[in-house]
Amino acid sequence: MKETKYSICGMCAVRCPITVQVEAGKPLWIEGNSHDGGMGRSLCAKGGAALAQRMDKQRPTAPMLRMGNRGQGQWREASWDEAYEYIASRLNTIIAEHGSRSIMLSDRGGPFADLRQAFVKALGSPNYINHDCTCGRNVHHSAKSVYGLGRKDFAYDYENARHIVLFGRNITESLKVKEVKSFLKGIKNGARVTYIDPRASVTAGKASRYWQIKPGTDYALLLGMAHCIVNNHYYDLDFADKYINGLAEFKTFLEPYTTEWTERETGIKAEEIQAFCRELNEDRPKVIIHPGWMLARYRDSFHASRMIHIINALMGSIEQPGGLFYPKGPKDAGKLGLKSLAALVPGVNEERADGCGTRYPQWDKGAGMLQTAYEAIDSGRPYPVKAYFVHRHNPFIALPDTKEQRRILDKLDLIVAVDINFSETAWFADVILPENTFLERDDILRTEKGLKPGFGRRQQCVKPLNNTKAGWEIYLELARRMGKGDLFPFTTIEDIWQYQLQDTGLTLADFDAKGFVKLSDQAIWYDRDKLKFGTESGKIELVNQKWEAMGVASLPAYVAPEPPPDGSFRLLFGRNGYQAHGQHQNNPILCELLDVNKLWIHPAAAKTIGVKDGDQVLVGAGDEQGRIAAYVTDLIHPEAVFMLHGFGTDVPAKKRSFGKGLADQVFMKGKLKEWDQAGGGLNLAESFVTVTLAPSQEK
């Protein structure tokens, strides 16, 4: 008999709602959960490859203990009991010598992180960290400094927008299924799209205007836009009067940044910028300027993103149909939220090893910052960090300069990777604890914020094929073996779900019909006359005194990016629709869609080094060198080269992808120590590489 199960996709961190058809214990079909109108039955290519992921045997199928040196790849399978005992005994030794605070865990963050946060806290450590130092940290911190709200406190109503402006936000390839559908509906409804990127991605092909900006000059373009908008009064005067502080100072600051100046910095014509600003004036308040996501990879990305937040406010597009809106939570629907697991555990009164909230007072403590935690591992200051749990996170790909990372992590006494793949980081670990694939496991309930807030459930659709376990089982058992079992009085996932739901008035049966529960039938919008922001003043702060006091200037002068050294190119990178970072290059289906990356290089640049389309080239930085095919195209700015991220694995167990393509992160030399000083995001795009024709041209 066929059964329909509702769950949550786990092939990437977007976590779309899904429907899975199961027969005789086998998954037959997977598609979007059409009870969610924005989703429909759609799924992306990665989601569809979930069934193949489950069947793939080139993954850890039982707990693994390291035999040889770290990274050598000599493993033996162990029972769960042995693996747990090994970890508990190592942890006890580490705690006896260095204290509980010497334990750290990093993960992907997101709606299921509460469990891991609870685990780290239960062990007595403040060092929970998520992945965001190489993702949206600059964008997040800049939102805090303008609105006192985080980056996830805004969502975008593309469907009803008149103008969508994307600074390197490659929305059609670096995708979220619901978002890309809403974006395409917006275009169908007549929205203009302005796309700005030194590289013409697929999204550029959907745009009504594409600017191939000089890499690293977004802040200059935004200053020019702000100058034109403010001086021509192309902004929402009422909204500004009511909600914006510091406009006079802002206007004075902008004086030098005319559109003619901007043209010289960015390569974008002054009259085109002026025409664009006139359009924004016509289209506001239904204007969305996306504050960036991976845009934030330069040393001034915090300020570029900050300026986007400011211009959105000037457009009056906050809490506005066709503009930006606040994702509403249970409270907005007059309901109580899910009970937190971390709240079960006593607080930990220790300074964080990564310095968030102390050495770096402006950075959020909740998410931490991995690169400064690495500093602590390396130096033993402010105190030694000796044990590292890495859960659904692959820093050897996600952070730059893998060689340097290996040197630092080798100082740890214990590395435990909880993964479903032989990730590059797991390969270097001491223990690999294999999690069930997402189709095979339950997770804790999640809150789904939006215009109609609710809760969602990932549930087990089919039984695990291998000797793997769900994260909740792993962390509860580890806590128990560390003598902290009393803090988590749960035996089954239903016990956890019931605890989470206890204030909500809901039962588990409420999730059966659709897989999620909505707390409101109607879209909830706040009254635009009574908006309140999270800053001290409750207003939008163009000059934020609190941040200034922490050493972060609100309106710093523009500093042009460093030009590439002679014979070098700025290395840019991005993703495509078939892959999620480095996760699925070895997936039996996805590897057939795309198994290797290429180096995009401009024809003028290619000519100077004698390279033709399809030639093999050598890419180099410091002691790192690699070979890759050239894709000669004017879709990339002449100062830069571009490659897709996530390829070039050095883990031999991944036989389908081993050695295919080139890894971008290994060329980002020294970048573990270079970050945007305000926002903390690593300066990945401030890396330069040499490119030469490879000596022999066999392909």
Ligand X SMILES: Nc1nc2c(c(=O)[nH]1)N[C@H]1C(S)=C(S)[C@@H](COP(=O)(O)OP(=O)(O)OC[C@H]3O[C@@H](n4cnc5c(=O)[nH]c(N)nc54)[C@H](O)[C@@H]3O)O[C@H]1N2
Enumerate binding residues for ligand SF4 (CB under 6 A): 9, 11-12, 14-16, 43-44, 46-47, 175-177
Nearer to ligand X, 408 or 519 (CB): 408
List, in order, residues 6 or more apart from 640 with CB less than 8 Å away.
198, 199, 215, 564, 569, 570, 571, 572
What's the rounded Cα separation, in Å, for the pair 272 and 215? 18
Region of 180-188, 321-329, 392-400, 455-463 interacting with ligand X (CB under 6 A): 392-400
Residue 170 interface partner, choices ligand X, ligand SF4, Mo ion, none, CB cut-off 5-8 Å depending on type: ligand X
Total binding residues toward ligand X, as defined by CB under 6 A: 52
Is 293 a binder of ligand X (CB under 6 A)? yes
Nearer to ligand SF4, 583 or 690 (CB): 583
CA distances from 363 to 138, 180, 291, 678 (A): 10, 31, 18, 9
Residue 586 interface partner, choices Mo ion, ligand X, ligand SF4, none, CB cut-off 5-8 Å depending on type: none
Residue nearest ligand X, CB atom distance: 168
Provide φ and ψ at 22, rounded to 5°.
Answer: -125, 135
Nearer to ligand X, 245 or 301 (CB): 301
Is 420 a binder of ligand X (CB under 6 A)? yes
Region of 329-337, 477-485, 545-553, 580-588 interacting with ligand X (CB under 6 A): 580-588
**Is residue 638 within 8 Å of residue 602, measured between CB atoms?**
yes
CA distances from 316 to 76, 192, 240, 335 (A): 60, 18, 7, 29
Q: What one-character DSSP code corresponds to residue 467? A: S
| Closest among 2, 11, 3, 9 to 420, alpha carbons compared | 11
Nearer to ligand X, 421 or 504 (CB): 421
Least distance (Å) between residue 22 CB and ligand SF4: 18
DSSP class per residue in 224-258: HHHHHHHHTT-S-HHHHHHHEE-HHHHHHHHTT--
Residue nearest ligand SF4, CB atom distance: 47
What's the rounded Cα separation, in Å, for the pair 176 and 94? 41
Total binding residues toward Mo ion, as defined by CB under 5 A: 1
In SS3 terms, 473-495 reads as: HHHHHHHHHCCCHHHCCCCCHHH
Nearer to ligand X, 244 or 470 (CB): 470
Provide φ and ψ at 99, rounded to 5°.
Answer: 85, 165
What's the rounded Cα separation, in Å, for the pair 423 and 401? 16
**Is residue 453 within 8 Å of residue 447, measured between CB atoms?**
yes
Question: Cα dihedral sign for 429, 431, 436, 441?
Answer: negative
**Is residue 360 within 8 Å of residue 372, measured between CB atoms?**
yes
Report CA dihedral (373, 374, 378, 384) to the nearest 10 degrees.
Answer: 30
Binding pattern for the stretch 644-663 against ligand X, x by CB under 6 A and - elsewhere: -x------------------
Least distance (Å) between residue 683 CB and Mo ion: 16
Binding pattern for the stretch 186-215 against ligand X, x by CB under 6 A and - elsewhere: ----------xxxx-x-----------x-x
Nearer to ligand X, 577 or 638 (CB): 577
| 352-391: contacts with ligand X (CB under 6 A) | 391
Provide φ and ψ at 66, rounded to 5°.
Answer: -70, 140
Residue 16 interface partner, choices ligand SF4, Mo ion, ligand X, none, CB cut-off 5-8 Å depending on type: ligand SF4
Is 295 a binder of Mo ion (CB under 5 A)? no
| 126-145: contacts with Mo ion (CB under 5 A) | 135
What's the rounded Cα separation, in Å, for the pair 282 and 74? 64
CA angle 520, 243, 522 (to 5 degrees): 10
Nearer to ligand X, 398 or 519 (CB): 398
Place of tokens 């909500």: 504
Nearer to ligand SF4, 179 or 473 (CB): 179
Nearer to ligand X, 100 or 576 (CB): 576
Residue 43 interface partner, choices ligand SF4, ligand X, Mo ion, none, CB cut-off 5-8 Å depending on type: ligand SF4
Nearer to ligand X, 245 or 687 (CB): 687
How many C-beta neighbours within 10 Å does residue 489 have?
A: 10
Least distance (Å) between residue 49 CB and ligand SF4: 8
> Which member of 153, 157, 430, 435 binds ligand X (CB under 6 A)?
435
Least distance (Å) between residue 155 CB and ligand SF4: 16
Nearer to Mo ion, 155 or 618 (CB): 155
Strand 103-107 and strand 75-77: the pairing is unpaired
Least distance (Å) between residue 57 CB and ligand SF4: 21
What is the contact surface with Mo ion in residues (CB under 5 A)? 135
Chain positions contacting ligand X, by CB under 6 A: 10, 12-13, 108, 131, 134-135, 167-170, 174-175, 196-199, 201, 213, 215-216, 218, 293-295, 391-394, 398, 418-421, 423, 435, 438, 572-575, 577, 579-581, 583, 642, 645, 664-665, 684-685
